[in-house]
Amino acid sequence: MTTTPLPRAGSAPGAWPLLGHAWQLHSRPLEFLNSLPAHGALVRIGMGPYPAYVVCDPDAAHRMLTDSRTFDKGGPFFDKARVLFGSSLPMAGWREHRWQRRQMQPAFQPERIDAYATVMAEEIDRMTAPWRPGLRFDLTAALTTLTLRIVTRSVLAAEAEDEAVAAVQHSLHTVIDGVYQRVMLPLGPLYRLPTPGNRRYRRACTRLHRAIDGIIAERRASPGGDDLVSMLLEAHDDTGAPMSDKDVRDQLVVMSGAGFETTANSLAFAFWLLSQHPEIEKRVHEEVDGTLAGRTATAADMDGLPYTRSVVHEVLRMYPPGWFFTRVTTADTTLAGQQLPKGTALLYSAYLLHHRSELFPDPERFAPERWLQGGGDAAPRGAHVPFGGGNRKCIGDQYALVEMTMALASVCARWSVHPDPGAKMRVRVRGTLGPGPLLMTCRPRGAAADG
């Protein structure tokens, strides 16, 4: 695929005094981002009083993502998020990241994902067990409970009914929304005022930390497991020093936060899109009927679900849950022909890249066939980045893809879910992209429908 080169660099219009473009990013973020490629491959914006460049070109995005020494984690988003998440894997600078990733990688090897898939199947069955023909329910809420239970049982290796796990589940939404608010509207001192929202955020942070600390203490008392918590507790750096409990907590907080809402929202988008595209839903049903014959999917079924997997990839293109991130230059450098001094903040958006018509024709159309038979390979490097790229690519990408494919296929093998006539879906932009509550009604398929 060939694309028309963008102008080298430009500036976004409409900056506000003190806020820069923060209000546009807060009030209409997706529209604002999609307007930026018209101004260049790198577009200067203001994140509050601080300047930043938005990367609009896939080649530039690829270089930035694959050169983590020059373009390190940092900038407006990460500086705020580190207050809560510390120097955990997604937040760590490149030096710390290499060591941390080595310690955590075994928890995401294929054989471990196969073991997690057993938990995924059990929880999918648990979610759908109470469904009945004509049941009307909030699908987004059901999927959020599903993914929370899966991540707590697999990543935290804790029983989903534990009091500590319940505290994690009830706190994460508030914490993630609070971090997002502080990034997108940099109002500094106002977040220290004792407003109801600020107090709610601080209480949620405290509950979350205490709950994770309790899980760590319990695991220290019973060492020797092969789960992620145990791996972190047994890890030692090159000097022989172990991780502190705070470091372990930071890793578990960010892994839990990254592993539930993103997946639940992507699945909710997938079911909504299938309900609006009956010809695509029919093709998914034909595939799962042939491969699963009404049973719950397993990790071994992935090769038999190519079209279902393509639906997942297309959902991640249209609505990437991690829709923007920032980097910072560690030395004077050049990107897309623009000289950038050390300390320059860069922002990249998977949503922006995924919705450029030069990269993905008719980008607003739901077209899973883009990803069949190597179709996705036609996109330039750096064009499709739902999990980031380079050695900083999300460590749980395969975990998430298996979970989404299994859940989508297993539900579609037995049920079809549809909204009320005339219902609308509105994209909710927070720390992740989501559809908000989706009231859907169950319709049984196959043997369930016949019975």
The pLDDT of residue 139 is: 97
Nearest alpha carbon to residue 215 among 195, 201, 205, 230: 230
User: Whole-angstrom Cα distance, residue 331 to residue 317?
Assistant: 32
* Cβ-Cβ contacts under 8 Å for 155 (sequence gap 6 or more): 107, 227, 228, 252, 255, 256, 259
The pLDDT of residue 85 is: 72
CA 239 to chain CA centroid, Å, is 33
Residues of the chain with pLDDT under 50: 451
The pLDDT of residue 451 is: 44
* Cβ-Cβ contacts under 8 Å for 405 (sequence gap 6 or more): 297, 302, 305, 308, 309, 312
Domains and CATH numbers, the chain: 1-108+323-385 (1.10.630.10), 156-258 (no CATH)
Residue that has been written with the tokens 């036609």 in this structure: 378
Q: Encode burial over 189-220: b for 16+ CB neighbours within 10 A, e otherwise.
A: eebeeeeeebeebbebbebbbebbbbbbeebe
User: Whole-angstrom Cα distance, residue 212 to residue 200?
Assistant: 18
User: Whole-angstrom Cα distance, residue 122 to residue 70?
Assistant: 44
Q: Please check whether residue 395 is in contact with residue 101, taking contact to mean a CB–CB distance below 8 angstroms.
A: yes
pLDDT in tens, 267-293: 999 999 999 999 999 999 999 999 999
Please report the beta strands in 219-324, taking only residues with DSSP state E, as ranges in sequence order.
none
